[in-house]
Structure 1
Amino acid sequence: MTSVSPSPSSVQLTLFGTLGCHLCEQAQDLLQPMLQQQGWQLSLCDIAEQADSDQLISRYGLRIPVLQFAAAELDWPFTAEQVQAWVSQAVVSHGQASQQAGG
């Protein structure tokens, strides 16, 4: 089995959470070394501060922190190894979906 290493420019993660959420802070701390090593980008989305906050709170309120990449979501708790495997799988899935849509 060949491992897929996503290119840095293709990995833009979003972490859904809220200000003062200690689990969200733990998730962010867990992700920081990986972001630096892999060159990935992370956007933080405070679900209470968005224009569509009611919808986001309804969707993520009991699940935060939630990590999102390429329409895939990973709920807390997760480890660095799980994030790496999840991103790799999402890259493969996203690539296959793009090929099917284009082909």
Structure 2
Amino acid sequence: MIPLTLYTTLGCHLCSQLEGLLGLLCREPVALDRVEISEDQALMARYGVRIPVLADGEGHELDRGFEASRLVAWLAEREWLDEEGWEALRRQWEGEEAPREVRGAQRRGGRRYLG
């Protein structure tokens, strides 16, 4: 299990995009601790214009992880990247392959929920 922290706020569509990418690109399941920044002035000052920010257990942070190339590099650096998932996603974007289901996603009432 990969423990990660996501600094986020309610309704952040970029955060949702990042979560979806994590489900496709991580070679192990992710334990995602979501931290709501709007409830803390210090967190708002630090992360307000940077969210989503992903942090590993050692405190290394990734800004703009919703950009797949940045997330791929960050995951690969930690040896967490699912190479096959990345190749499948690239082929999907190029129109060569149907979308892949996200590991760990659950469907309820027509909506997809992660973790």
- Which range, TM-score by smaller chain? 0.5 to 0.7
Looking at structure 1, the residues matched to 52 and 63 of structure 2 have their Cα atoms a distance apart, in angstroms, of 7
Identity %: 38
Bigger proportion of residues as strand: 2
After superposition, the Cα gap between the structure-2 partners of 1:86 and 1:74, relative to the gap in structure 1 and judged at 3 Å, is: farther
Q: For structure 2, which runs of at least 5 residues remain unmatched after alignment?
A: 81-115
Aligned residues: 76
Bigger proportion of residues as helix: 1
**Map of 1:1-103 to 2, 5 A cutoff?**
8=1, 11-34=2-25, 37-49=27-39, 53-69=40-56, 70-77=58-65, 78-79=67-68, 80-88=71-79
Query: What is the DSSP-based 3-state SS (H/G/I as helix, E as strand, rest coil) of the residue aligned with 1:38?
Result: coil
Q: Deviations over 1:64-84 (max 9, x none)?
A: 000001110001143252242
Could you tell me whether the CA contact under 8 Å between 2:52 and 2:64 is conserved in 1? yes
Read off the aligned partner of 1:61 and give its amino acid letter. Answer: G
TM-score normalised according to structure 2 size: 0.57
Moved more, 77-86 or 22-31: 77-86
* RMSD (CA atoms): 2.1
Q: Deviations over 1:18-60 (max 9, x none)?
A: 001111111111112345x4023111111113xxx10000000
After superposition, the Cα gap between the structure-2 partners of 1:62 and 1:86, relative to the gap in structure 1 and judged at 3 Å, is: farther
Query: What is the DSSP-based 3-state SS (H/G/I as helix, E as strand, rest coil) of the residue aligned with 1:48?
Result: helix
